[in-house]
């Protein structure tokens, strides 16, 4: 292992290798297998019913094995592998192929997507048991897996975009999985349309990239990035960011993600926490050689990330739904990853993406386990005392809580701390401070979540009979729990650890920017402050929810008044958007529709009325039309004749 | 008889056979379907003998017609016309099968009208003599007029007359321009007229005359208002043919005639047409949002989508203009499929009001699934056919007018709104009301009609290369004069 890492350090830039042998040569199967699974499950669902899950799980498992083999080849022989595949679109001078690009970044994403994906497939066997559309659920999971793998494997922006849109479709189908409930169907549509707004930005980014580089191939763009003017780098980064803020739920397009919790909980874990929503982070890191071309663009990204992390954490403090809290927490943690991208800590951002996939996937699956046990109740004020009744869910949740709160040596501590340290060391002092405050809030609201669900007195209604979930659900919990404990230590326990070095050749270099620290503090001091932040957050929650009498439920919240209401109502952002887009947009559309029938068509009808009344004069209004037409044709023929004669004579 | 002639004569012969024969309903339907399938086979044979590498007009067939005035029956195809011929011959049998037992009375007349219509449209795409083109172009009005006026809905007469007058008016202006060109060239032969060197003023006037005729057909904002009425009142088959094929006569005309014959005027007018297209894209989409009748909504979506086609055409570069042609085919498939589904639903419920439906996905899962796929294709989801046309159109447009491309790209957001919103209202939510609870799912025949369409929607979405290989060389040749004019 050490020799491998030394080799990676030596080669700052990857060599480009055509994949003709080994696992990377077979990598085209990675997205194809789940597509086959998707089709097979759909076709056999009537015959096999719940047994068709086996097909989907087999497809996910095969994909995971293949992905692991591909990752191993990249680890043992680091390079940018290109697996040539046929042309997709060849319109005039524009050509893109399905060719795959596999490097260190791809390898990490492949393992996360297929690994967490497989666990969620298994978990769903128990969770979705008895659902009317059980088989269809598994088909959609396979479709999602295929789409996400296209996204991370695409060698050009357009194939990445293909996966980007197909994960959006999977997300739409799965948020609206129980479409009989109007509000769920509405949430699905909201997710799709909000993402479409981001897509416009992404598409314009591609137009701009093609106009600038003459290609959409990543390697072509990243090679050309070195010669890009800083204004061009700013425009391209900002346009890509427009797409990323929609998919990764950042300000101002985060509004769809909390509503997306309408989907079945395994979907929330896989798509709306561990994988799809991190696609924006992946995109920005993939394009990091362009991003480093403009310090202004980086600052913009960092501020968006910091403000999102802060705002979502504030909202999470006063949510009462077991999944909504986790949803805002996801928005907030994605904000941390964007801070990473913005301050040039690309590898730390990916590290946090990885650990977040472990602990947030875990927390969502644990929430699902709780809901499963509580007959789908989601109000944390109706829980409490589940510790004894659901021991496995309790212990794994505890691990997830400690990890996200940033307690060492759990996984989240390392990755979050390294992002904040890097923000400070790269001179983003304000961003560091905001991030630190958001980290205190994170520790606070996640402790509140954990305490109210599992500790204290049982507050659930008499008709609920909580019980531990079946094995298919607890095994994925335990695996993710282990990863949440050791994931950070194993991957990157010190700042320039194994993962950091491994990813080096795949990301942009900030050395040329000449960034300097924001102040005199050293890394150990920053680490101490981060640990203190976690302790403060947990301590506050301890006094607020464990040491006080909370038997009167929601009314025992320590914070009250206008400020608390503002948090509960999520800063009224949904209401604001509704006012702008639905009210104003509706008025615009109604006016346009009125204009079309009354004004434009009115003119036409006026002209038409004259023509028809001319026909009525000769009392041939109905049949007269065709006759008039014949007359016109004859007249036309006469004109032709006249012209001919004029030429001949 | 050459292959092109055969392709055009076959449906005509079928129509003739039907009009003189005494077959009953079933017999007539079988003859019509068989004829349309033979026509499709003939067009495939045409494709097989076509040289993909050559962008000029090929497989020329010529017969004397009116030698005294230099008009002849000249037929030939390039990649553009061949793509549209294949679209026409592919859709016709599906349309006949879709209306198998829903036409009601006078079935034979309906079938005759359809086969005649097919022949006329094929003639439009294959003619290389301007007079012949004009005759086919105008003649196609008659069967369509009858289809709307006889087999249409309650307001059919108003819609049919509006359709007729609108397009006839456009066509007459073009006739005058054709006669002027004839006076200059002494022949109606396309290639000869294309070689004419016309003065700047001449070009402007003639170009305007052609564009007016084609803009009405497309239809381009603001001369689009016949389309929603025609679509709403036309029987299902009529709507499918109208959206699938007839509208393309306009965009085809622009590429075949307006661009190469009047290159200077084209270059001069391109910014204006780009602007009008962008307005049409956004305007059609916004008006679509407010429609309560699903068929009318899709009609307005056509205004928006055809705006993309015209936008790409006048971007005047190989990428956007080729993609325009591909998008003509895509729009024919997607919108045709949507009209078929609307027709199937209408036959069951006798209403097209979106508000009348709700929660249907639970009751009719097959229809709901197909509807979603087609809607996604129409809103240009990557992986389906709409995207592989729309994206290069915008990419190519961006090279000449970034503003136009960015504004038009917002059409994608609006498309998601006007397609997913009604989808949710019709298919999602609780299944309530006896009408919704008793709606039956698609029959085998109806699924059979949809499968080839959906298959092509997916295949073109993932592998549009054969289509682009067909179109690219011909567009290169169309743009030769344009390059010189710059």
Q: Give the model confidence (pLDDT) of A484-526 as tens digits.
A: 999 999 999 988 999 999 998 999 988 888 899 998 999 999 9
Average pLDDT, chain A: 89
Upstream peptide bond of A252 is cis (omega within 30 degrees of 0): yes
Kindly indicate the confidence band of residue A598, based on its pLDDT and cuts at 50, 70 and 90: confident
pLDDT for res A342:
96
Best of B138, B232, B290 to substitute, by most chain A Cβ atoms within 10 angstroms, is: B290
Residue B273 has pLDDT above 70, yes or no: yes
Q: How far apart are CA A385 and CA A391, in angstroms?
A: 11
Mean pLDDT computed over A160-189:
94
The 3-state secondary structure of A163-213, one letter per residue: HHHHHHHHHHHHHCCCCCCHHHHHHHHHHHHHHHHHHHHHHHHHHHHHHHH
Kindly indicate the confidence band of residue B153, based on its pLDDT and cuts at 50, 70 and 90: confident
pLDDT for res A607:
67
Residue A616 has pLDDT above 60, yes or no: no
Mean pLDDT computed over A584-602:
83
Burial class (CB in 10 A: 0-12, 13-18, 19+), A132: exposed
The beta-carbon neighbor of B182 closest among A166, A182, A643 is: A643
> In a 3-state reduction of DSSP, which class is residue A82?
strand
Q: How far is B17 from chain A (nearest CA, A)?
A: 24
Residues with Cβ within 8 Å of residue A229, at least 6 apart in sequence = A293
* Number of alpha carbons in the 13 Å side-chain half-sphere of residue A405: 27
Q: How far apart are CA A583 and CA A574, in angstroms?
A: 13
pLDDT for res A6:
43
Contact list, B182 vs chain A (CB under 8 Å): 640, 643
Residue B104 has pLDDT above 60, yes or no: yes
Kindly indicate the confidence band of residue A637, based on its pLDDT and cuts at 50, 70 and 90: low
Kindly indicate the confidence band of residue A634, based on its pLDDT and cuts at 50, 70 and 90: low
Kindly indicate the confidence band of residue A8, based on its pLDDT and cuts at 50, 70 and 90: very low
Best of A28, A91, A135, A600 to substitute, by most chain B Cβ atoms within 10 angstroms, is: A91
Q: In chain A, what percentage of residues exceed pLDDT 90?
A: 69
Kindly indicate the confidence band of residue A547, based on its pLDDT and cuts at 50, 70 and 90: confident
Is B366 an 8 Å CB contact of chain A?
no
The beta-carbon neighbor of A93 closest among B319, B406, B417 is: B319
pLDDT for res A639:
59
Q: How far is B326 from chain A (nearest CA, A)?
A: 9
Q: How far is A92 from chain B (nearest CA, A)?
A: 4
Residue B333 has pLDDT above 90, yes or no: yes
Q: How far apart are CA B323 and CA B475, in angstroms?
A: 10
Burial class (CB in 10 A: 0-12, 13-18, 19+), A417: buried
The verdict on a CB contact (< 8 Å) between B399 and A193 is no
A96's enclosing H/E stretch is: strand A94-97
CA-nearest residue of chain B to A594?
A: B287
pLDDT for res B154:
83
Kindly indicate the confidence band of residue B453, based on its pLDDT and cuts at 50, 70 and 90: very high
Q: How far is B11 from chain A (nearest CA, A)?
A: 23
pLDDT for res A619:
43
Contact list, B394 vs chain A (CB under 8 Å): 203, 207
pLDDT for res A328:
95
Q: Is the dihedral of CA B18, B24, B26, B27 positive or negative?
A: negative
Residue with the bigger pLDDT between B223 and B85: it is B85
The verdict on a CB contact (< 8 Å) between A89 and B161 is no
What is each CA distance from B287 to A600, B24, B415, in whole angstroms? Answer: 12, 44, 11
Nearest to B330 by CA among B287, B279, B276, B392: B392
Q: How far is B400 from chain A (nearest CA, A)?
A: 10
With contact defined as beta carbons under 8 Å apart, do A370 and A329 qualify? no
Is B376 an 8 Å CB contact of chain A?
yes
- Per-residue pLDDT tens digits for A125-152: 999 998 889 999 999 999 999 999 999 9
Kindly indicate the confidence band of residue A610, based on its pLDDT and cuts at 50, 70 and 90: low
The beta-carbon neighbor of B319 closest among A91, A162, A633 is: A91
Chain centroid to CA A397: 23
CA-nearest residue of chain B to A163?
A: B382
Average pLDDT, chain B: 93
pLDDT for res B101:
78
Mean pLDDT computed over A438-459:
93
With contact defined as beta carbons under 8 Å apart, do B31 and B18 qualify? yes
The beta-carbon neighbor of B172 closest among A92, A189, A632 is: A632
Name residues 93-122 of chain B within 8 A of A (Cβ): none
Residue A620 has pLDDT above 50, yes or no: no
Exposed e or buried b for every residue in A274-299, given b needs 16+ CB within 10 A? Answer: bbbbbbbbbbbbbbbbbbbbbbebbe
Residue A462 has pLDDT above 80, yes or no: no
Say which range, A175-179, A635-639, B386-390, has the weakest mean pLDDT. Answer: A635-639
CA-nearest residue of chain A to B472?
A: A92
Q: How far is A83 from chain B (nearest CA, A)?
A: 18
A310's enclosing H/E stretch is: helix A295-317
With contact defined as beta carbons under 8 Å apart, do A409 and A488 qualify? yes
pLDDT for res A479:
96
- Per-residue pLDDT tens digits for A323-358: 999 999 999 999 999 999 999 999 999 999 999 999
Q: How far is B398 from chain A (nearest CA, A)?
A: 6
Kindly indicate the confidence band of residue B97, based on its pLDDT and cuts at 50, 70 and 90: very high
Residue B321 has pLDDT above 80, yes or no: yes
Say which range, A474-483, A561-570, B57-66, has the weakest mean pLDDT. Answer: A561-570
What is chain B's length? 486
pLDDT for res A609:
66
Q: How far apart are CA B205 and CA A227, in angstroms?
A: 48
The beta-carbon neighbor of B388 closest among A89, A186, A200 is: A89
Say which range, A400-409, A410-419, B120-129, B163-172, has the weakest mean pLDDT. Answer: B163-172
The verdict on a CB contact (< 8 Å) between B383 and A185 is no
Kindly indicate the confidence band of residue A602, based on its pLDDT and cuts at 50, 70 and 90: confident
Mean pLDDT computed over B22-46:
93
Kindly indicate the confidence band of residue A9, based on its pLDDT and cuts at 50, 70 and 90: very low
- Per-residue pLDDT tens digits for A199-255: 999 999 999 999 999 999 999 999 899 889 999 999 999 999 999 999 999 999 999
Say which range, A297-311, A604-618, B312-326, B399-413, has the weakest mean pLDDT. Answer: A604-618
The verdict on a CB contact (< 8 Å) between B405 and A207 is yes
Q: Is the dihedral of CA A511, A513, A514, A519 positive or negative?
A: negative
pLDDT for res B368:
95
pLDDT for res A199:
94
Contact list, A611 vs chain B (CB under 8 Å): 165
The beta-carbon neighbor of B413 closest among A196, A207, A626 is: A196
pLDDT for res A629:
55
- Per-residue pLDDT tens digits for A549-571: 887 777 888 887 888 888 888 88
pLDDT for res A317:
93
Contact list, B138 vs chain A (CB under 8 Å): 633
* Number of alpha carbons in the 13 Å side-chain half-sphere of residue B24: 1
Q: The whole model's pTM is what?
A: 0.93
pLDDT for res A612:
57
Say which range, A328-332, A552-556, B85-89, B137-141, has the weakest mean pLDDT. Answer: A552-556
- Per-residue pLDDT tens digits for A253-295: 999 999 999 889 999 999 998 999 999 999 999 999 999 999 9
Q: How far apart are CA A312 and CA B238, in angstroms?
A: 53
Q: How far is A194 from chain B (nearest CA, A)?
A: 9
Contact list, A215 vs chain B (CB under 8 Å): none
The verdict on a CB contact (< 8 Å) between B465 and A589 is no
B302's enclosing H/E stretch is: helix B294-315
The verdict on a CB contact (< 8 Å) between B395 and A206 is yes
The verdict on a CB contact (< 8 Å) between A88 and B469 is no
Kindly indicate the confidence band of residue B17, based on its pLDDT and cuts at 50, 70 and 90: very high
With contact defined as beta carbons under 8 Å apart, do A104 and A74 qualify? yes
Best of B70, B159, B225 to substitute, by most chain A Cβ atoms within 10 angstroms, is: B225
């Amino acid at each position: 292992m050490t020799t491998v890492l030394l080799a990676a350090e030596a080669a700052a830039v990857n060599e480009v290798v055509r994949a003709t042998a080994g696992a990377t040569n077979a990598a085209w199967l990675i997205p194809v297998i789940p597509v086959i699974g998707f089709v097979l499950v759909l076709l056999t669902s009537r015959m096999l019913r719940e047994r068709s899950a086996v097909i989907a799980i087999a497809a996910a498992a095969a994909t995971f094995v293949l992905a692991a083999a591909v990752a191993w080849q990249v680890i043992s022989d680091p390079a940018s592998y290109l697996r040539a595949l046929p042309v997709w679109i060849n319109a005039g001078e524009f050509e893109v192929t399905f060719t795959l690009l596999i490097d260190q970044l791809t390898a990490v994403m492949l393992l996360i997507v297929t690994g967490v994906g497989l666990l969620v497939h298994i978990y769903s066997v128990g969770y979705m048991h008895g659902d009317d559309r059980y088989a269809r659920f598994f088909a959609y999971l396979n479709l999602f897996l295929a789409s996400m793998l296209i996204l991370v494997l695409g060698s050009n922006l357009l194939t990445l975009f293909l996966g980007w849109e197909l994960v959006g479709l999977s997300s739409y189908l799965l948020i609206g999985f129980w479409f009989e409930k109007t509000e769920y169907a509405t949430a699905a549509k909201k997710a799709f349309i909000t993402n479409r707004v981001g897509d416009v930005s992404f598409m314009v980014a591609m137009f701009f990239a093609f106009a600038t580089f003459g290609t959409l191939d990543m390697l072509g763009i990243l090679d050309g990035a070195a010669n890009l003017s800083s204004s061009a780098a700013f425009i391209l980064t900002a346009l890509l960011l427009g797409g990323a803020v929609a998919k990764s739920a950042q300000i101002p397009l985060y509004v769809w993600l909390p509503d997306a919790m309408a989907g079945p909980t395994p979907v929330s874990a896989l798509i709306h926490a561990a994988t799809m929503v991190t696609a924006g982070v992946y995109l920005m890191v993939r394009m990091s050689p362009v991003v480093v071309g403009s310090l202004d663009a980086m600052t913009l990204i960092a501020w968006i990330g910091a403000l999102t992390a802060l705002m979502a954490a504030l909202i999470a403090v006063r949510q009462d739904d077991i999944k909504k809290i986790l949803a805002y927490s996801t928005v907030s943690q994605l904000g941390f990853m964007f801070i990473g991208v913005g301050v040039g800590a690309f590898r730390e951002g990916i590290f946090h993406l990885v650990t977040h996939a472990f602990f947030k996937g875990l927390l969502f699956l644990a929430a699902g386990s709780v809901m499963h046990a509580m007959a789908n109740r989601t109000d944390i004020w109706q829980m409490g005392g589940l510790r004894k009744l659901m021991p496995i869910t309790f212990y794994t949740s505890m691990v997830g809580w400690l990890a996200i709160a940033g307690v060492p040596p759990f996984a989240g501590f390392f990755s979050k701390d390294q992002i904040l340290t890097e923000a400070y060391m790269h001179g983003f002092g304000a961003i560091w401070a905001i991030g630190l405050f958001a980290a205190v809030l994170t520790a606070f609201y996640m402790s509140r979540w954990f305490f109210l669900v599992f500790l204290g007195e049982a507050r659930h209604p008499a008709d609920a009979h909580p019980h531990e979930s079946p094995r298919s659900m607890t095994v994925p919990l335990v695996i993710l729990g282990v990863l949440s404990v050791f994931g950070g230590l194993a991957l990157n326990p010190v700042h320039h650890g194994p993962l950091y070095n491994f990813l080096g050749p795949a990301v942009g270099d900030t050395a040329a920017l000449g960034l300097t620290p924001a102040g005199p503090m050293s890394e150990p001091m920053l680490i101490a402050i981060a640990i203190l932040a976690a302790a403060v957050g947990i301590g506050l929650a301890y006094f607020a929810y464990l040491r006080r009498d909370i038997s009167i439920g929601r009314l025992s919240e320590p914070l009250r008044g206008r400020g608390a209401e503002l948090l509960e109502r999520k800063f009224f952002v949904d209401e604001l958007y509704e006012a702008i887009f639905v009210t104003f947009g509706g008025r615009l559309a109604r006016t346009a529709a009125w204009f079309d029938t009354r004004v434009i068509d009115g003119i036409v009808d006026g002209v038409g009325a004259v023509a028809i009344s001319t026909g009525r004069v000769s009392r041939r209004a109905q049949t007269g039309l065709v006759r008039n037409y014949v007359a016109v044709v004859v007249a036309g023929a006469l004109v032709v004749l006249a012209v001919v004669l004029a030429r001949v004579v | 008889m050459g292959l092109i002639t055969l392709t055009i004569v076959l449906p005509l012969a079928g129509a003739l056979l039907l009009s003189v024969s005494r077959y009953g309903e079933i017999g007539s339907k079988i003859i019509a379907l068989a004829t349309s399938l033979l026509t499709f086979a003939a067009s495939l044979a045409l494709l097989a003998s076509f040289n993909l590498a050559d962008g000029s007009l090929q497989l020329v067939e010529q017969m004397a017609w009116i030698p005294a005035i230099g008009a002849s029956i000249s037929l030939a195809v390039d990649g553009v016309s061949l793509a549209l011929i294949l679209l026409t011959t592919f859709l016709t049998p599906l349309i006949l099968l879709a209306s198998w037992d829903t036409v009601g009375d006078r079935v034979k007349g309906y079938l005759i009208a359809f086969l005649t219509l097919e022949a006329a449209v094929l003639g439009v795409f294959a003619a290389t003599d301007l007079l012949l083109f004009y005759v086919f172009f105008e003649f196609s009005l008659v069967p369509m007029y009858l289809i709307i006026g006889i087999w249409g809905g309650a307001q059919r007469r108003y819609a049919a007359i509006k359709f007729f007058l609108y397009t006839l008016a456009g066509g007459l202006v073009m006739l005058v321009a054709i006669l002027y060109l004839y006076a200059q060239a002494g022949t109606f032969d396309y290639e000869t007229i294309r070689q004419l060197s016309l003065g700047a003023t001449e070009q402007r006037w003639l170009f305007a005359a052609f564009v007016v005729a084609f803009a009405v057909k497309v239809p381009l904002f603001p001369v689009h208002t016949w389309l929603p009425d025609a679509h709403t009142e036309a029987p299902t088959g009529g709507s499918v043919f109208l959206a699938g094929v007839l509208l393309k006569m306009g965009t085809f005309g622009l590429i075949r005639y307006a661009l190469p014959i009047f290159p200077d005027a084209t270059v001069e007018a391109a910014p204006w047409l780009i602007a009008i297209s962008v307005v049409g894209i956004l305007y059609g989409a916004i008006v679509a949002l407010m429609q309560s009748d699903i068929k009318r909504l899709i009609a307005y979506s056509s205004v928006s989508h055809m705006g993309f086609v015209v936008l790409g055409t006048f971007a005047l570069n190989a990428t956007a203009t080729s993609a325009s042609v591909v998008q003509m085919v895509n729009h024919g498939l997607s919108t045709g499929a949507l009209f078929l589904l609307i027709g199937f639903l209408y036959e069951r419920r006798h209403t097209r009001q979106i508000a009348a439906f709700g929660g249907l996905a639970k009751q009719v899962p097959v229809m709901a699934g197909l509807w979603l796929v087609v809607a996604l294709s129409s809103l240009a989801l990557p992986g389906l056919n709409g995207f592989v046309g729309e994206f290069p159109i915008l990419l190519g447009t961006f090279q000449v007018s970034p503003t136009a491309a960015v504004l038009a790209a917002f059409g994608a957001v609006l498309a998601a709104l006007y397609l997913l919103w009604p989808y949710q209202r019709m298919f999602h939510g609780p299944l309530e009301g006896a009408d919704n609870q008793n709606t039956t799912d698609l029959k085998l025949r109806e699924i059979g009609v949809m499968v080839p369409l959906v298959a092509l929607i997916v295949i073109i979405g993932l592998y549009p290369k054969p289509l682009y290989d067909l179109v690219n060389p011909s567009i290169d040749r169309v743009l030769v004069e344009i390059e010189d004019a710059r």
